[in-house]
Chain A
Amino acid sequence: MIPLLLWILATTDAAFIGYREAAGRSALINKQAYYRRAMLRGILLGQVAVGIVGMALTVSLLLSPEPVVLVDKLQKAGSRMVLVYLPYALVILLAFVLRAVPSVDLRSITSVVIFGPFTFIRPMVVVAGVAWGFWVVPSLTTLLLGVLILTLMLAMEWLIGRLRTAKLIS
């Protein structure tokens, strides 16, 4: 259950990363297709990131003298990460529900109160989730896994931006 929840959260976050990276780069009026592509791109890169973490986990388990203990530690860390990320995601989801109401004022308020500030605190939430998750299971392996997850979560938007600069995406 915990890995599934984390995968859903990571995929959703990756979709928004794709959106954010693309936003403010197209001045067209009708750009639903442009944003769909951007979100899909984010999701795909998110899966690559999940795959990298998955491989790192597999290698860690293979090399671990006590794989069962490591799995238990990772479950504990994952549970605590979910406790940080899920409320954050639910608030964003609530904002989207409110934004479905066709009111200029209400939609503006969702941006002022939720979307803007929550985008601002996202890096801190990312760090908090990983730190709090891996704090309870301190070891070199979990520390390295935590750093890997942090790096991937925080670097993805920058990475997509680099792909754009290199004209590999448009």
Chain B
Amino acid sequence: MFWTMPKSGQEISDAIISFDPITLERKPVLKSDVIAEFVSLNNQRAVRIIEKIPEREGVLEADAVDQLLITTHCEMQRISEEFQHGQRVAELLQPLLRALRSGGETSIRIVDIGCGTGFIVRWLSAQAMLGDDVEIIGADYNAALIKEAKRLAELEHLACSFVEANAFRLDHPAAIYISTGILHHFRGQELIELLKQHNRQETLAFVHFDFHPSPLAPIGSWLFHAVRMRQPLAKHDGVLSAIRAHKSRDLLEAAKVAAPEFISTIYGTQLWGLPIPRVFHALVGLRSAYRERFLQYMGSRIASLGKIE
């Protein structure tokens, strides 16, 4: 119920898994450390969830954690489907791609950062809405999630690929970086450092979707996770995500500091020109050379764009 909603702290899915950011090597996570962390936050609900994860010699079992995360991503996909998130991403990428193409770009690579089981990448690929000149790649640190993404893509013969990698360290950088539900995992300087990584010549734009914070968002998120999710971890983290979501202003400020080579704006600040809370908003960054064409190709959806800075 409402009163069991977590109020602060990190998400369980962040706490139960750890990778070396350079080598991507999986690091053991001590169950007692994770439990102690959530005890210190007085988050008994999280403690109960973590206590149920199998351990071996005090270390959370990697296979059990992976299976839990795969199941959780499957349930999260259900909510993304219900909220038409694939279509939402496509509607923003299409004018962006048109702008890049008209600026002379060919063979555009899109990389989804922290793609999980790759719902967006697979959805975009299945709909074939972006054009043959677009390569879509999903990147994630977690080998198990990438393996599952590959398996699902193969089952449906989808023309997309997935790599177990840091999205910003690929041999061929992306022209467009996208993500969903990633930004709120990065706080303060971490967010700046993440956004700084777009500052490379090859990168022309970025689109990062995350929950749109509003006074109603935590309760709305709680309700949806209560009726749509089965995994207690998914319910817990889903609500916490809405609570931790960055405000539009904070995202813009971070983008201005971290990626000054890009013009930035928020997509989804308004609905039909009105300040109605939405499920998702997106931080959009674009090289200024493409600004006018992008705005032109946005058509009626320009009403959802905030001030461009």
Overall SS of chain A's interface: helix
Asked if B227 and A24 sit within 8 Å, CB to CB, the answer is no
Q: Give residues 82-136 of A contacting B (CB, 8 Å).
A: 104-105, 107-108, 111-112, 115-117, 119-120
Asked if B220 and A27 sit within 8 Å, CB to CB, the answer is no
Chain B, interface size category, equals 20 to 34
Asked if B122 is at the interface of the complex by the 8 Å CB criterion, the answer is: yes
Chain A positions within 8 Å of B88 at CB level: 104
Cα of A115 to Cα of B279 in the assembled complex, Å: 14
Asked if A25 is at the interface of the complex by the 8 Å CB criterion, the answer is: yes
With contact pairs A105-B272, A116-B227 given, residues A27 and B83 touching in the complex (Cβ less than 8 Å): no
Closest partner residue, chain A, to B158 (CB atom): A29
Asked if A24 and B77 sit within 8 Å, CB to CB, the answer is yes
Asked if B122 and A29 sit within 8 Å, CB to CB, the answer is yes
Chain A positions within 8 Å of B271 at CB level: 105
Task: Give the total of A residues in contact with B, Cβ under 8 Å.
Answer: 19
Q: Give residues 35-85 of B contacting A (CB, 8 Å).
A: 73-75, 77-78, 82-84
Asked if B91 and A120 sit within 8 Å, CB to CB, the answer is no
Chain A positions within 8 Å of B158 at CB level: 29
Q: Knowing that A27-B73, A27-B74 are A-B contacts, what are 12 other residue pairs whose CB atoms are under 8 Å apart, sorted by A's residue number?
A: A23-B228, A24-B228, A27-B152, A28-B156, A29-B119, A29-B123, A29-B156, A104-B87, A104-B88, A111-B82, A115-B82, A116-B220
Measuring CB to CB, which residues of chain A are less than 8 angstroms from any residue of chain B? 23-30, 104-105, 107-108, 111-112, 115-117, 119-120
The 5 closest A-B pairs by CB, nearest first: A24-B78, A24-B75, A29-B126, A119-B227, A104-B84
